[in-house]
């Protein structure tokens, strides 16, 4: 893996091809038109829809991650599906057991750079998550959310969104 990463950084023309190939091989399932522009790591429990675009994504843990169609992420994003067992473990501050929670991201979601998504979260269709946010609870359809923890502060124009969707106008 070290050599592949070195190649990807050294040769920008080759980077996209190498990074895309790596994600395609390691994901459980992958739709059409995957585009990985920067080094990204996904687990064997990751399901990717069509037209998924990563610009540096790390998905960790044993939980399932499902990403819908037309997903776009900024750089350095992180999804964590496992946490340490700190409340009911057999040691302090935590023991060797973990708690696993799945992540579901519906269609047409856009994450800004350096977004963190914790396990047990569902992000609704068409949602936008502001750069630098930490998502710890569900985000509804069409919502625009941000902060630490992420809170909904606005919403997309649902009628306009649905018109673009019906016309097949995807980036």
CA quadruple 136, 87, 94, 122: dihedral, nearest 10 = -20
Catalytic residue among 72, 84, 148, 171: 84
Nearest to 127 by CA among 42, 39, 67, 57: 67
Q: Is 88 an annotated catalytic residue?
A: no
User: 30: which strand partners?
Assistant: 48
SS3 state at 155? strand
Distances (CA, A) of 152 to 14, 40, 71, 118, 145: 38, 27, 19, 16, 4
Report the largest interatomic distance among the alpha carbons of the chain, rounded to a whole angstrom.
Answer: 56
CA quadruple 111, 113, 114, 116: dihedral, nearest 10 = 0
Point out the residues that are catalytic: 84
């Amino acid at each position: 893996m070290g050599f592949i990463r070195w190649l990807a950084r050294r040769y920008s023309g080759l980077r996209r091809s190498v990074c895309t190939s790596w994600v395609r091989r390691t994901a459980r399932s992958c739709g059409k038109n995957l585009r990985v522009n920067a080094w990204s790591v996904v687990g064997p429990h990751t399901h990717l829809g069509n037209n998924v675009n990563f610009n540096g994504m790390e998905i960790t843990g044993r939980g399932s991650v499902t990403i819908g169609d037309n997903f776009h992420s900024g750089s350095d994003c992180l999804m964590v599906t496992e946490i340490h067992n700190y409340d009911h473990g057999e040691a302090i501050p935590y023991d060797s057991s973990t708690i696993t929670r799945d992540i579901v991201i519906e269609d047409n979601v856009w994450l800004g750079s350096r977004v963190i998504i914790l396990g047990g979260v569902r992000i609704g269709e068409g949602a936008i998550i502001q750069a630098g946010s930490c998502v710890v609870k569900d985000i509804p359809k069409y919502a625009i959310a941000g902060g630490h923890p992420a809170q909904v502060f606005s919403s997309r124009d649902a009628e306009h969104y649905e018109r673009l969707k019906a016309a097949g106008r995807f980036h």
